[in-house]
Structure 1
Amino acid sequence: MRCLYCLIFICFLHEIRGTAEHEWEKFKIEYRKSYKTKKDEREHFEHFKENLDVINSHNKLYEEGKVTYKKGITKFADLTDEEFVRKYRFDKRSTKIYTDEPEYELKTENSSDHFDWREKGAVTKVKNQDTCGACWIFASVGALEGLYFRKTNKSIVLSEQNLMDCISNHTCLGGWPGEVFKYIYMGKGINAEEDYVSNVKQKRCNYQKSKNVPISFIGADYVENNEEALKKALVEYGPIVLCIYAGEKWKLYKSGVWYERECSDIPNHAVLLVGYGSENGHDYWLIKNSHSEDWGEKGYMKIARNKHRNYCSITRFAIFVK
């Protein structure tokens, strides 16, 4: 009988390992993963198996209604938490914003329980910053695309690559959205993506003045530090840049309203706020990330709203353009 139990246990372990290896092969194909050495691949496979366990354990809690979001295999599933967090590079040395209007007044009286700038046409495709730490450029360009739409009622895809190459020679090492707005404010200009194609690797500045996209930009400002003001500013001014903390819990986010009890108020990542709503009784902010459509809900994430007071300090560094 003891031998029978041992045999069952061995078969069980073999089945688990077989499942992990099958998922691993699928993962490598889907996300076009390759590794420098066999040792490097073995190490990443171990991380992958650990993350599979995390996903399965978490999703059992989701099925039981104990957590509000699901985890799943993402492009980051072969990374440790530390490796994932290191991908984010942010420079908060200067929080200055450039504007001709130091004061602003929100005119929006009331707002609905649901709002989404994607439905209006102000939000372009989800993009991919890859290994470049230029989230601050991607989020800021998203806000400028929204501004262009509000002023012209036309959608345009602007070139992050243009700003990566022309703002400085170290844009992939982190920065602050104010640098983007200063650049535009000073009349430096930006091309459309079709005229300045992206490869998400910094290279020589090749901006074409003759193909400048005219953006009626008078400046940027911080939203008042509370969620009601953020809600009104989003409706009135368009998509908003959020500078927040993207911790290790973002790594495997797949769907639902993201909420974790512990959340740092020190920003290390910039995203674009495009809407808000409620799902299964849980209020959320809808953000557009820059990890392509194969992360989260086709590149988007829902973050808890009206949870405690200013959850994750989401309004602390919220920037709108005008």
Structure 2
Amino acid sequence: MLFAALVVAVLSTPFYSPHLLKYLNTKEGKLWEAGIPAKFANRTHDEVTKMFFPHAFLKPNIPRYYGVNITEDDLYPPDGSPDRLDYRQTHPECFFEPEDQKECSCCYAFATIGALSTRRCIAKLDSQAVSLSVQHMVSCDNGEAGCLGGEFESSWAFLETEGVVKSDCLPYTSGETGNSGECPMMCQDGTLVEDAFHYKAASASPLNNYNEIMVSLLADGPVQTGFYVHEDFLYYVGGIYHKVYGSSLGGHAVLIVGYGSMNDHDYWIVRNSWGPDWGENGYFRILRGTNECGIEKNAWQVTVK
């Protein structure tokens, strides 16, 4: 009983600590600014950890070429690569303002569907970004755990076989309810979901290392990936993130939309699903080429049709 009471007490305590914030902001060599994001300021430890999916759902990709050793070439960008790339600037018509998953741990759906939508637009299959239904995947993909998280391979399998409709057919509601709900048969306007056009992926495949991510990103557009979220990431408000303190709270899926360098530090540009009022207008930068928090071992690419 005493142990149970202690667990409840810990989970119900405020997540943010002014002492840790002070430590982070006095840490030498840190490339990012720490603060307490207003939207999470009053959350408890339990509320914060529920934002992420279990570690077991994040499965580092195993190289497909068995018996072939990784060489130094795998650690460097392809010859002739530009110094920086930001698809938000080169293809602004292919991006919406970052969305907010809110009370549903369905980052996997936002990241996979975001990759499909942006790559379709970049490939000129759509003249501008189409808002695809995250709710469709959350409610109808039986291979996932709805608002409790999901695995990338299952997410992509759903997009290959079933596809998703537009958001105006099935708007996102799980962020308010905190649960996935039943798979709906009717669109918001009363028409049948099965009669609506379903946007599908032609195929999807894992990217095994930094070089493969760079090749795919440069050739075809944003890349979906995941990483382990450590305690200090919740204090991020800007800069180039790298782990400074804390244990992993769980896995989180995001979308790499570009890369760059600043003061000899290489970074990825990444879209999050915590809304535009978080981080750098809904995005963050994270060290590139070092597999920071596993971000270069959990990537997937999609081929569109």
| Secondary structure of 2:17 counterpart | helix
SS at match of 1:274: strand
2:119 corresponds, among 147, 159, 184, to 147
Deviations 1:164-214 (A, max 9, x none): 11113841111112222111211x231111221111242222251333244
Q: Calculate percent identity across the aligned residue pairs.
A: 27
Q: TM-score, normalised by structure 1?
A: 0.71
Deviations 1:33-78 (Å, cap 9, x if unpaired)? xxxxxxx9xx76xx37x633433443344xxx63110012212233
Query: Could you list the per-position Cα deviations for residues 235-268 of structure 1 after superposition, in whole angstroms to 9, with x for gaps in the alignment?
Result: 1121111121011111111000011256889971
Summarize the alignment of residues 300-319 of structure 1 with structure 2, pairs less than 5 Å apart.
300-307=283-290, 310-319=291-300
Partners in 2 of 1:222 and 1:163 — Cα distance?
20
Q: Read off the aligned partner of 2:17 and give its amino acid letter.
A: N
CA distance in 1, matches of 2:207, 2:54: 20
Number of equivalent positions? 263
Match 2:80 to one of 101, 110, 130: 110
Q: What residue in structure 2 maps to residue 167 of structure 1?
A: 141
Give the SS at the match of 2:41: coil
1-structure distance, mates of 2:296, 2:248:
10
User: RCO greater where, 1 or 2, for CA within 8 Å and sep 6 or more?
Assistant: 2
Select 2:18's aligned residue among 33, 36, 52. 52
Q: Calculate the aligned-residue CA RMSD, in Å.
A: 3.2
Picking from 241, 246, 249, the partner of 1:258 is: 241
Deviation at 1:143, TM superposition (A): 0.9
Larger radius of gyration: 1
Q: Which has the higher strand share?
A: 2
Letter in 2 for 1:209: E
Matched with 2:197 is 212
- Under a length normalisation based on structure 2, what TM-score does the superposition of the two structures give? 0.75
Residue of structure 2 equivalent to 1:87: 51
Q: Secondary structure at the match of 1:254?
A: strand
Question: How far apart, in 2, do the equivalents of 1:292 and 1:311 lie?
Answer: 23
Q: Do 1:123 and 1:274's aligned partners in 2 also have CA atoms closer than 8 Å? A: no
The equivalent residue for 2:3 is none
Which structure 2 residues correspond to residues 121-270 of structure 1 after superposition, within 5 A? Answer: 121=92, 122-151=94-123, 152=125, 153-168=127-142, 170-186=145-161, 188-200=162-174, 201=177, 202-206=180-184, 208-215=193-200, 217-225=201-209, 227-261=210-244, 268-270=251-253
Question: Relative to 1, partners in 2 of residues 1:272 and 1:303: Cα closer, same or farther, differing over 3 Å?
Answer: same
1:286 to 1:229, Cα distance in 2 relative to 1, 3 A: same
More helix by share: 1
Say if 1:234 and 1:240, in contact at 8 Å, map to a contact too.
Answer: yes
Contact 1:145 1:157 in 2 (8 A): yes
Instruction: Tell me, yes or no, if the aligned pair for 2:231 and 2:248 is still in contact at 8 Å.
Output: no
Q: For residues 261 and 204 of structure 1, what CA distance do their matches in structure 2 show?
A: 41
CA distance in 1, matches of 2:19, 2:56: 35
5+ unaligned residues in a row in structure 2: which ranges? 1-8, 66-77, 186-192
Q: Give the 3-state SS of the residue equivalent to 1:154 in structure 2.
A: coil
**Counterparts of 1:256 and 1:175 in 2: how far apart (Å)?**
29
Cα 1:262/1:96, change in 2 over 3 Å: closer
1:271-301 CA deviation, whole Å, 9 max, x = no partner?
1111111234321111111111122111111
Aligned to 1:72: 35
Tell me if the contact between 1:222 and 1:318 (Cα under 8 Å) persists in the aligned partners. yes
